[in-house]
Amino acid sequence: MTTDDYLYGTDESNRPRELSYGILREPPSPFFSHQSIVLRVAGLWTDHVEPRQLGQVAVAPLDVVLDRERALVVQPDVLFVAAGRLSIIRDQVWGAPDLVAEVLSIGTEARDRNEKLSWYRQYGVRECWLVDPLTRSITIHDFNAAAPDVRHVKGIEPIRSSVLPDLRAAAFRLFP
């Protein structure tokens, strides 16, 4: 399937789906607990971003076209696009968001930790949060540095983001 087939030849859907080098992937809907954490991450980012007019936050399902020619379209659980780059947002996001979060689940963890993390790095995402409900921790992959930096936070440890450097929150706030 081409990117155009995916975007314009299929019906609009609220189901999660992604296009991976021409192969359509439609996993089942996430569990309630997963979506609860997605909302917490989105709320934390939105509460920080909107009053400061730093950009836009969105949640899945929303297509992010990383590579039109290679038919690579993903749907991060939560994404942020900085104010200076809002032109990449049209009906979809055309290019790498500045910051993405993936809430891990049994069915998606391996894909999120491997394939998607690699794509995010390759296509220019500046930072990726892997939020793990089982360990109640966040692994922050900072792709801004000369050598990628990985930080693990949990409990009362502060979340430090290079994309949102003034964000102040303890890791436990993301978990019910």
CATH number at residue 136: 3.90.1570.10
Range of the domain at 169: 3-174
Residue 167: band (very low, low, confident or very high) from pLDDT cuts 50, 70, 90: very high
SS3 73: strand
The pLDDT of residue 134 is 95
Give 25-36 pLDDT, tens digit per residue: 988 889 999 999
The one-letter amino acid code at 69 reads: E
82: phi then psi, degrees, rounded to nearest 5 = -70, 155
Cα 18 to Cα 23: distance, rounded to the nearest angstrom: 8
* Lowest model confidence (mean pLDDT) among 13-22, 75-84, 90-99, 125-134: 13-22
C-beta of residue 126 within 8 angstroms of C-beta of residue 144: yes
104 CA to centre of own chain:
11
pLDDT band of residue 143 (cuts 50, 70, 90) is: very high
Question: Which contacts (CB < 8 Å, 24+ apart) does range 50-56 have?
Answer: 52/166, 53/83, 54/82, 54/83, 54/164, 55/80, 55/81, 55/82, 55/83, 55/84, 55/85, 55/86, 55/98, 56/80, 56/81, 56/86, 56/89
| Res. 145: pLDDT tops 80 | no
Q: Which residue has the tokens 């109640």?
A: 136
Q: How many structural domains compose the chain?
A: 1
Residue 114 burial (C-beta neighbours within 10 Å; 0-12, 13-18, 19+): exposed
pTM of the predicted protein model: 0.94
pLDDT above 80: residue 144: yes
Q: How many percent of the chain have pLDDT more than 90?
A: 86
pLDDT of residue 11: 83
- Position 23, amino acid: I
Give 18's pLDDT tier (boundaries 50, 70, 90).
Answer: very high
Task: Summarize pLDDT for 76-107 with one digit per residue, the tens.
Answer: 999 999 999 999 999 999 999 999 999 999 88
Strands 93-94 and 64-67: parallel
Count of H-run helices and E-run strands, the chain: 4, 11
